[in-house]
């Protein structure tokens, strides 16, 4: 049986083109450099586009403890304690969301100022200060909430929470 080399070459070309279309269908469109840097800093929770399923153990946590601060994971809280922790976190979330929104808007304005023809140092300093103030407000609100949560814990639970903070790099990581 004689194989026609032109037909083989044509089949290889068709396969290569088809594979290219399939692979490009899974690729995300490229974003401008500024947007990519902004997303890397300010949107770590954004889900990347993945053409394959997640490996076992890498599924997002979607249970009642997923909203708890990391230092409470693995600590056996009573139902009353869980309700109070939820109430504390729920009460602070609008203020944190508002501060985060203001920080994002100021950061976007600063990014636009940097690439505009009307750049001014004073305006850049004001926008950078606004971003910093909003981040300071978020840290303060989280510290207040964590202090309230910590007061709800029993002495044994506090020791466990402190141990979790130590395992994660120290007490400064307990607020995260």
CA atoms within 13 A on the CB side of 105: 9
Q: Does the pLDDT at position 17 exceed 50? A: yes
Domain locations in the chain as residue ranges: 62-175
138 within 8 A of 101, measured Cβ to Cβ: no
Q: Which residues are CB-neighbours of 76 under 8 A, at least 6 positions away?
A: 157
Tens digits of residue pLDDT in 107-142: 999 999 999 999 999 999 999 999 999 999 999 999
Mean pLDDT, residues 86-99: 93
Confidence of residue 54 (pLDDT cuts 50, 70, 90): low
Give the pLDDT of residue 174. 52
CATH of domain 62-175: 1.20.120.1490
């Amino acid at each position: 049986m004689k194989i026609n080399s032109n037909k083989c070459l044509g089949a290889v070309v068709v396969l290569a083109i088809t594979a290219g279309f399939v692979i490009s269908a899974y690729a995300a469109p490229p974003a401008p450099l500024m947007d990519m840097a902004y997303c890397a800093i300010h949107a770590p929770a954004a889900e990347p586009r993945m053409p394959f399923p997640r490996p076992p153990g890498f599924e997002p946590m979607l249970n009642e403890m997923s909203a708890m601060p990391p230092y409470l994971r693995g600590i056996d809280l009573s139902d009353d304690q869980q309700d109070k922790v939820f109430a504390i976190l729920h009460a602070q979330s609008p203020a944190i969301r508002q501060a985060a929104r203001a920080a994002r808007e100021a950061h976007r304005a600063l990014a636009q100022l940097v690439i505009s023809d009307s750049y001014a140092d004073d305006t850049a300093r004001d926008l950078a200060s606004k971003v910093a103030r909003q981040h300071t407000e978020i840290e303060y609100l989280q510290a207040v909430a964590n202090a309230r949560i910590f007061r709800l814990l029993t002495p044994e639970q506090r020791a466990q929470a402190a141990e979790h903070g130590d395992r994660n790099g120290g007490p400064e990581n307990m607020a995260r």
